Structure 1
């Protein structure tokens, strides 16, 4: 069995998924405004991303003995979901950069960006409809049901996070953070990609349900690493503005640790800065919060938690699915677990 590195697999899979999506999405129309709309729908999919979620779907499908080609529509739908969700997320967060370029709403305004996100959302369901001919109506409907549950989970998690900022809440415990991450990030980063990949391969409901604990831990580890990179990553690699989470007032594990560790006077200062509107924050105030995070080793705390969760996910997968043959797909997935928290983008 030849060894393929996770980065190489992600790169190759991204090419395949991109080709599948670009062949599917309309790119031209006789009406100039509709033509422009179609071109804008290609914007985020054309940007350099990891293609993580479709890759996990294809790997699990193959690891469970399925044909990954039969999972291509579903994997592509996961990538479309990622892109429409990011367009909306960037608007809600007031972000400037996405994958190294200005966010869609920064280029074209909020109303148009929302509509383009809605367009990709519609195309996600259309892509899933293709499964009826490929997999049969019953299996196609089960996959649609998985996506419906996933969509509900994502918006619930997003609402939790947005509400913390809107209501100026600072009494966030780690348990609150876990809940938000599980619903928003873990559900679509790992749990559902694993579930639908296994489903297409013929896994039972009981087997699919076993992905929850492993997927929860891996998904939260992924989110923590994303929070870490937002503070100490290299902007060119990370693709988003460094310190953006502080600008946006996001409640991350790093911030929760800081507020639970620093003095009350310092905590008051941090919440004063974090509670300001994005446009009112100055760079020296962002640096002030970063300095406190460094003093109290909050980033290192988060990194340790991410590594622990990733190791738990690795062990859980090995133990729970020990009966799976030692295939290349299984090997790459297990490598991917550690890659997700060692990544720089």
Structure 2
């Protein structure tokens, strides 16, 4: 395994086949097509790959975790469909969002269908590992993640226009909205691989750390990347008035004058490129970009250190490579 592309493609065909099989019985055809739309559009398959790698890293087989891996990807896809509706986003993975093709009612049903199919997959996974206990433990983990995703989304919406959000509150929000499912992916793999209690707990924390770093890196890239890599205008989070770790940190450190300037830009629905530049200058002035990037690095290092508890293997190395990818990616 030489690079991240190879790692993320290792199990993609198996995961895709499992998903297609799970969704093949959906009717009517319109609902089936809407449900498979985002999977057919592509995607990194990061979360299900983490599930299988975590399973194999603790001594399990791919077949033990394939249904749980597919379930994790369905949960992720369900959340994307509903997010696009709530955020009124028209494009996802380079294609029209589900609600733009089939309308909001069918899109909501498609998301609900994927959510339900995910739980069916985990329940059926007991036949792969020869015991219902592993599937039950994974089911409980997935259900907990789903609650956290909804809580995180609610907190995220509640933070809009609230310029007193504290760092601890923001980190708790992104844990629930983003990191919880990554942590569930790695924990589920360890459970289905019949790992020890220590290994299962460690893999959850590994997923939690890289999940936090993943979202913080997203915030950072929005400001330092280029439009071609991002697939959207640089600084769009500023234009949309989003609360990110960078914004939270800057607002906590800024002088009254700079704080008022930044809030005015975030509140303006028609912020100009010069406004974005002003915000960037404020972030640079108070070291908020560097702070955000350093915290993401710290989380990734914590994740990699946890993996030292595992025996050496190609799968452990692949998990370390994914941790590095979370930090080094450009989009």
TM-score (norm 2): 0.90
What is residue 9 of structure 1 aligned with on the other side? 7
Q: Is the 1:97–1:241 contact (alpha carbons within 8 Å) kept by the matching residues of 2?
A: no
CA distance in 2, matches of 1:108, 1:288: 40
Q: Deviations over 1:295-336 (max 9, x none)?
A: 545333322221122112212321xx1xx3311111111121
CA distance in 1, matches of 2:18, 2:204: 28
SS at structure 1 position matched to 2:10: helix
Closer/same/farther in 2, CA of residues 282 and 275 from structure 1, 3 Å limit: closer
What is residue 37 of structure 1 aligned with on the other side? 31
What is residue 281 of structure 1 aligned with on the other side? 270
CA distance in 2, matches of 1:79, 1:52: 9
Q: Is the 2:253–2:286 contact (alpha carbons within 8 Å) kept by the matching residues of 1?
A: yes
Q: Is the 2:74–2:115 contact (alpha carbons within 8 Å) kept by the matching residues of 1?
A: yes
Closer/same/farther in 2, CA of residues 76 and 235 from structure 1, 3 Å limit: farther
Shift of 1:274: 2.0
TM-score (norm 1): 0.86
CA distance in 2, matches of 1:142, 1:27: 26
Q: Deviations over 1:155-176 (max 9, x none)?
A: 12222111111xx311112111
Q: Is the 2:59–2:193 contact (alpha carbons within 8 Å) kept by the matching residues of 1?
A: yes
Closer/same/farther in 2, CA of residues 242 and 90 from structure 1, 3 Å limit: farther
Matches within 5 A, 1:38-57: 38-57=32-51
Shift of 1:75: 0.4
Matches within 5 A, 1:104-143: 104-135=98-129, 136-143=131-138
* 2:322 maps to 1:341: no
Closer/same/farther in 2, CA of residues 91 and 297 from structure 1, 3 Å limit: farther
Q: Deviations over 1:35-68 (max 9, x none)?
A: 1221111111112311111111111111111001
The worse-fitting range, judged by mean Cα deviation, of 266-275 and 79-88 is 266-275
* 2:288 maps to 1:298: yes
Closer/same/farther in 2, CA of residues 150 and 6 from structure 1, 3 Å limit: same
SS at structure 2 position matched to 1:310: helix
Closer/same/farther in 2, CA of residues 89 and 204 from structure 1, 3 Å limit: same
What is residue 193 of structure 2 aligned with on the other side? 201
What is residue 302 of structure 2 aligned with on the other side? 312
CA distance in 1, matches of 2:113, 2:277: 38
CA distance in 2, matches of 1:13, 1:240: 29
Q: Is the 1:55–1:75 contact (alpha carbons within 8 Å) kept by the matching residues of 2?
A: yes
* 2:263 maps to 1:271: yes
CA distance in 2, matches of 1:107, 1:282: 30
The worse-fitting range, judged by mean Cα deviation, of 115-124 and 230-239 is 230-239
Shift of 1:235: 4.2
Tell me the number of residue pairs that the alignment of Structure 1 and Structure 2 aligns. 329
What is residue 180 of structure 2 aligned with on the other side? 187
Closer/same/farther in 2, CA of residues 18 and 232 from structure 1, 3 Å limit: farther
Shift of 1:206: 4.0
CA distance in 1, matches of 2:152, 2:196: 27
CA distance in 2, matches of 1:242, 1:88: 24
CA distance in 2, matches of 1:48, 1:290: 33
Q: Is the 1:97–1:240 contact (alpha carbons within 8 Å) kept by the matching residues of 2?
A: no
Closer/same/farther in 2, CA of residues 92 and 232 from structure 1, 3 Å limit: farther
Closer/same/farther in 2, CA of residues 316 and 194 from structure 1, 3 Å limit: same
Q: Deviations over 1:105-159 (max 9, x none)?
A: 3444433322221121122122223213223323222211111111111112222
Unaligned runs of 5+ in 2: none
CA distance in 1, matches of 2:73, 2:224: 27
What is residue 251 of structure 1 aligned with on the other side? 243
CA distance in 1, matches of 2:86, 2:46: 23
Closer/same/farther in 2, CA of residues 241 and 53 from structure 1, 3 Å limit: farther
Shift of 1:226: 1.4
